[in-house]
Homo-oligomer: A and B are copies of this chain.
Amino acid sequence: MQLTPKVKEILSWYESDNPGTKANLARILMEGRLGGTGRMVILPVDQGFEHGPARSFAPNPAGYDPRYMFELALEAGCNAYAAPLGMIEAGAATYAGAIPTILKINSSNSLSTTKDQAVTAGVRDALRLGCSAVGFTIYPSSEYQFEMIEELTEIANEAKECGLAVVVWSYPRGPMLDKTAETALDICAYAAHIAALIGAHIIKVKPPTSAISLDAAKKTYEKYPVDVNDPVARFKHVVQACFGGRRLVVFSGGEAKGSEDILNEVRAIHAAGGNGSIMGRNAFQRPKADAVKLLTDIMDVYKA
């Protein structure tokens, strides 16, 4: 299938990557209802790891079965499905070739008191499971951030040699950051920029709030203001931090909320030139028909 000019343009940004990595980026970008548009909606299901099974799946118990997630991603027409090793292993053969998968390589859990994650899979797993990308979380500002980044460095290098793409979840947290700071605009843009500098192909961050948190940065934002009360301006600033828009950036949906709130956020991402959404709990905790409806509505915004 011929790639669209938009997807070809995006691939041209990744000029140092080998054709294998480009092919896997193309597979993700050409898949599903948004295939070819340069926008993406990704279904991520690592909440069972992060928050435990009941908090994740009790609202819609069909989700206890990992095959449900593949089905949901396929029915909704997502670009890719991201999950930890066990979830991917449980459906990778049944859905082989049906939808690009992103193997989430490290995970934390709510039983941990440290801001770190465990590596639970490797590049060899990604190859044997037919994944298009590996996913990795870093916590900029954590006291473990440098170790996490160094783990990512090794995995990313190996993944790129093997023709896989690298997706980085960049979630600031640590002793310097209170709850507000974790999603403050300056911190969010910084986290996205760090992921780009480490060599991420796709960057995932949380939607930025209007806060400016880092003292050292406040002077800059006063002198070169961003209209922090305008969501579009905020998303634009994060896009800008991703190499002036030359790296793919997607935004998480965050905690479960109402559909209209989600769609408004998506409209702002779309207007700002963000590349899409990665939508977990807001999707799989609803009954499937509702989830497909929401994901489809989101995609319609991105297609406009």
Interface residues in chain A, defined as those with a beta carbon under 8 Å from any beta carbon in chain B: 1-3, 7, 11, 13-27, 29-32, 48-49, 51-55, 58-59, 61, 64-66, 74, 84-99, 107, 109-114, 116-122, 124-125, 127-131, 140-141, 143, 145-147, 149-150, 153-154, 157, 161-163, 172, 174-177, 186-187, 189-190, 192-194, 196-200, 214, 216-217, 220-221, 223-224, 226, 237, 240-241, 243-247
Q: With both chains docked as a complex, state the minimum distance between the C-beta of A122 and any C-beta of chain B, in angstroms.
A: 6
For the complex, give the distance between the alpha carbons of A15 and B143 in Å: 39
Q: With both chains docked as a complex, state the minimum distance between the C-beta of A12 and any C-beta of chain B, in angstroms.
A: 9
Flag if A22 contacts B150 (CB, 8 Å): no
For the complex, give the distance between the alpha carbons of A161 and B223 in Å: 45
Write out the residue numbers on chain B whose beta carbons fall within 8 Å of the beta carbon of A157: 121-122, 124-125
Flag if A223 contacts B24 (CB, 8 Å): no
For the complex, give the distance between the alpha carbons of A247 and B120 in Å: 18
Flag if B49 contacts A224 (CB, 8 Å): no
11 contacts between A and B (CB under 8 A): A1-B74, A16-B90, A19-B96, A26-B97, A54-B217, A107-B197, A110-B216, A113-B143, A119-B149, A120-B198, A130-B163
Q: How many copies does the complex hold?
A: 5
Partner of A186, one of B54, B162, B176: B54
Write out the residue numbers on chain B whose beta carbons fall within 8 Å of the beta carbon of A15: 19, 89-94
Flag if B118 contacts A223 (CB, 8 Å): no
For the complex, give the distance between the alpha carbons of A51 and B154 in Å: 24
Given A190-B109, A243-B64, verify A149-B118 contact (CB < 8 Å).
yes
Write out the residue numbers on chain B whose beta carbons fall within 8 Å of the beta carbon of A140: 109, 111
Q: With both chains docked as a complex, state the minimum distance between the C-beta of A217 and any C-beta of chain B, in angstroms.
A: 6
Q: With both chains docked as a complex, state the minimum distance between the C-beta of A288 and any C-beta of chain B, in angstroms.
A: 15
Flag if B127 contacts A146 (CB, 8 Å): no
Flag if A53 contacts B189 (CB, 8 Å): yes
For the complex, give the distance between the alpha carbons of A92 and B21 in Å: 11
Partner of A130, one of B22, B127, B237: B22
For the complex, give the distance between the alpha carbons of A86 and B32 in Å: 29
